[in-house]
Amino acid sequence: MKDFAGKICFVTGGASGAGLGQAKVFGREGMKVAIADIRQDALDNAVEELIAFGIKREDILAIRLDLTNREEYTAAANKVEDVFGGPPHLLIQTAGVNSFGPVEASTFEDFDWVIGVCMQHVINGLVIFVPRMIKAYAHKTEFHVATTSSMGGFFPCPGCGPYGAAKAAVDNLMYSYDAALIPYGSGATVLCPGNINSNIGNAEKYRPEKLKNTGYHVSEGTMMHLRSVHAGGIDPVELGEILKEAIENQRVIALPDHDYDNHAATLHAMFEGIADLALTRELRQVKAAERAAKQVKNPDKHGPQKWEVPEGAEPFGQARKDLDWIDESKRK
């Protein structure tokens, strides 16, 4: 997909962070932009920010939406068609949440919340929108589906297991949809960033009440710490430009680096670590030491190696102190 002007774009999580950056990038290309988010105040602010960025108000549609609710999502899809005259030519599913803690401390609610937003909402959008997109645009005009995943989908995430599992599943879904959409003249892209300057550090504030039971130590202090980390991440508009290049050039995987020609080599280096999981633990340790000695370059240049921890912040990624099966060093 190379011609964006006059077409329709739908972005989940579009009220802040990576989603808002994507709305800005594709709105600047002349697309009509629908942004979906669960926070009405954030949507209101995003509309004003998009207008200040140069996008016409009449080309912006803000929809308050619980993306895990299929009835609400279907109603949102109908609204896009009513307002803009058809389904999106470009579907970008970016909304996500995360919480950190030892995977062995995770509750059902930790899994249900993170997987519900990070994976189930993607499934909902694909099932609701893709048939409409095929019927409206197959072999008539360009259309494309994209999802914002994470580098965490490529390797073990013992400190955020539900998130890593959701992102790995989303990656595979997008590989599958790309192959499936080729006969219709379309394709799919999965964007896999590392650290983004986004609102995800505040995600626990928006966890539904019925899913509040967590095995992780969560506090205003841990969220403050996470906000300081994410503040050093890649700029959302810059990340949106990387996604745009990937879509234009039919890349199925896009990484957070403008060195596009090195993306395949980066993935090969990461997948070596996955291949090593077939080895014995002793051999894995040897291979890990060998890789560390080579000092393989981290493709995500935008995540800070060091950051200042604000006063009052607490370490994140620990279990609740009352969980008696957790190693003492992992408990708060």
- Show which residues are catalytic: 163
- What is the residue whose two structure tokens read 């959409």? 181
Rounded (10°) angle between helices 121-137 and 161-181: 10
Q: Are strands 90-93 and 60-64 parallel, antiparallel or unpaired?
A: unpaired
Helices and strands (H and E) in the chain: how many: 10, 7
Report the alpha-carbon distance of residue 86 to residue 5 in Å, rounded.
15
Report the alpha-carbon distance of residue 45 to residue 48 in Å, rounded.
5
| 232 residue type, one letter | G
For residue 99, give Cα distances in angstroms to 47, 48, 143, 158, 230. 28, 29, 33, 12, 13
Structure tokens at 88: 């999106």
